[in-house]
Structure 1
Amino acid sequence: MRPSRLLFSAVLALSLAVAACGRGGGDARPPEPGDRAVAKVQDETIWASDVKREAVAQGLVGEGEPLDVTSDLFRRVLDEVIDQKLLAREAERRGLDNSALAQRRLEATRERILGDMLVETVVNNTISERKVEELYQEQLRLARTSEEIRTRLILSRTREEADAVVGILAQGAAFEAVAMERSVDEATRFSGGDLGYSTLDVMPQAYANALRDKPAGSTVGPFQTEGGWAVLRVEDRRRETPPTLEQARPQIVRYLTYEGVRQLLEDLRGKAEVDVLLNGDAARPQEPASAPAAPAAGSPPASAPAAASAS
């Protein structure tokens, strides 16, 4: 086994002991239809589905992607699964699985696995093509009311410098050339100040306020921002171009999964008696810690996922 994988395998060895504690010897029956035995560690069979599951857990392949048993990747992950089982067996031989700490960690691993299986069964199975299509159509309706604006920026450190920029532009100098020469914004100056297309709702407030009613061809500013004094040129205004259904699908599925897990946990907490044994503010009810991370700022509101522009 390669040293770079040793620590990773050692950590997962205890997880494998969850199943090892209850096994009664090798099982020749495939766990999934069409499964294939690919190795044996003493009396325990390793199936192709075990290797695929490990590859998915490591992010090496997607859940729905195939993993060819003849590929180098399959063989590499198979070697890791064999190493994990050998480590788990040795941990059992030394009695490490009998300690109170090991039992608590094994139980925690078991609960995580069961929780994941519940999500797969209850939540993922409810994410239908119809629901994906409905949310996509809702997002399309929202996108039809949004406008994208392409702008260029010249950022100055002081008002005096920004006024000088406006004077140079008024004499007919090309905005792109002045941006390359005078802008202090290193991210855009070498592209002539090009900020690309974006909608007002994702712009800094100062930019959005300055650009709200300005037509294409306008020069706007100077106005103060957090980074300095800005002068903008409106290059183009157009209706927001929504992504295709296939482009939006991953984000829609993530959103539906998040909402499904949130609702499931809310229902379970409503039925269970949960006492948080903490004092003060920490004891106030909060969103379940096991819920997936909420969408980041700029992500969809509760009604629908925000689809990124395809431009």
Structure 2
Amino acid sequence: MPLISRAQLAAFALLLAVGACERTETEVAEIEVGDQTVAAFVNGEPVFEGDVELEAVARGLINAGQEFGPNDDEYRIVLDQLIDQKLIAQEAGRRQLDRDAGSQRRLEMARERILGNLLVESLVAQEVTEEAIDKMYAEQVRLQQANDQVSVAHILLETREEADALFLRIEQGETFESLVFNNSKDTRTRMENGDLGYVAPNDLAEPFPVVIANTPEGEVSPPFETGDGWHILKVKDRRTEPPKTRDEMRPEIAAFLTLNEVSRILRRLRTEANIEQGSGQVYVPTSDPVPAIPQSPPGDDDL
């Protein structure tokens, strides 16, 4: 159940595309571009280390936030290419290729695209928070597990310290089943290795649905808390395909939240702006500024 259809992504890319970047704006926007350390001077003009990192992220050579510097193999390659780019730009300037009206308009269009990208980066920083991603992920899990049946077992403990200590023993090789009887406070299930049977995740208290979604079949979850105490959960079997994990869904959610905010702002700007067509006619848009954002995921046919 994708959050964003191909049509929506295509419109978003058309709106914000710059050059041949291989990463989405939401990924590029996650890095800081404040490093003013000079990587090289080209005829007296600086190329900054932050520019090298940003270019490496845009080309998909590194992930946003990944350490990247002169000691990395790809760093010198990207720096050489930026130096060549600056040399070519300087030569174009010497030949005054930026002076005619056509060139000026193309430069202005590039500036507008870059300003649009800066707006997206700002929106990502303000709107695409981990809290917002968690909230949307929980909603997606609820929708995707609507008809799920999952066989689970649990160990119930009173304190986090007890739960952490028991989880460490499981990580060190002891089986979940061997620890239930002597440790679980749930008298209903400890005689049955903690078995809760097949359950519909959405019928359980939070955060059971998200924990179940993030725990692969046959694996044990890290401890988590509910009103009853601290739980360690084992997913024994699934009768349906599990939802994507938070990490797997995060890029799609981040793109969705960004696209949603861009759409909202563009609708407001179109309403407030005075726009006339070249013939002097009143401008009437033929479509939304970006395709309408669904409140729930579109069907499988959309992707």
TM-score band by shorter chain is: 0.5 to 0.7
Distance, in Å, in 2 between the alignment partners of 1:307 and 1:78 is 44
CA contact (8 A) 2:68 2:75 kept: yes
Distance, in Å, in 1 between the alignment partners of 2:279 and 2:147 is 47
1:287 Cα deviation (Å)?
2.1
Residue-pair matches, total: 182
Which residues in structure 2 correspond to 1:16-165 (within 5 Å)? 32-33=34-35, 35-146=36-147
Closer, same or farther in 2 for the Cα pair 1:125/1:258, shift >3 Å? Answer: same
1:277 Cα deviation (Å)?
4.5
State the structure with more CA Rg. 1
Closer, same or farther in 2 for the Cα pair 1:244/1:144, shift >3 Å? Answer: same
Distance, in Å, in 1 between the alignment partners of 2:295 and 2:77 is 43
CA contact (8 A) 1:277 1:283 kept: no
1:78 Cα deviation (Å)?
0.4
CA contact (8 A) 1:123 1:261 kept: no
Distance, in Å, in 2 between the alignment partners of 1:58 and 1:247 is 21
For structure 2, the 5+ residue unaligned runs are 1-17, 20-32, 150-236
Distance, in Å, in 2 between the alignment partners of 1:98 and 1:277 is 25
Q: TM-score, normalization: structure 2?
A: 0.53
CA contact (8 A) 2:127 2:257 kept: no
Match of 1:157 in 2: none
Distance, in Å, in 1 between the alignment partners of 2:144 and 2:98 is 56
Distance, in Å, in 2 between the alignment partners of 1:146 and 1:40 is 61
Shift >3 Å, 4+ stretches: 276-280, 304-308
Match of 2:270 in 1: 269
Percent sequence identity over aligned pairs: 38
Match of 2:169 in 1: none
Distance, in Å, in 1 between the alignment partners of 2:299 and 2:48 is 39
1:302 to 288, 294, 297: 294
Distance, in Å, in 1 between the alignment partners of 2:278 and 2:148 is 50
Distance, in Å, in 2 between the alignment partners of 1:125 and 1:69 is 31
CA contact (8 A) 1:38 1:48 kept: yes
Distance, in Å, in 2 between the alignment partners of 1:307 and 1:60 is 33
Distance, in Å, in 2 between the alignment partners of 1:83 and 1:51 is 13
Q: TM-score, normalization: structure 1?
A: 0.52
SS of alignment partner, residue 98 of structure 1: coil
1:58 Cα deviation (Å)?
2.4
Cα deviation 1:35-79 (Å, max 9, x = unaligned): 422111011111111111222232322333332322221100100
1:88 Cα deviation (Å)?
0.6
Give the aligned residue type for 1:303. Q
Distance, in Å, in 1 between the alignment partners of 2:105 and 2:56 is 26
RMSD over aligned CA atoms reads 3.3
Distance, in Å, in 1 between the alignment partners of 2:274 and 2:67 is 43
CA contact (8 A) 2:148 2:240 kept: yes
Give the aligned residue type for 2:51. D
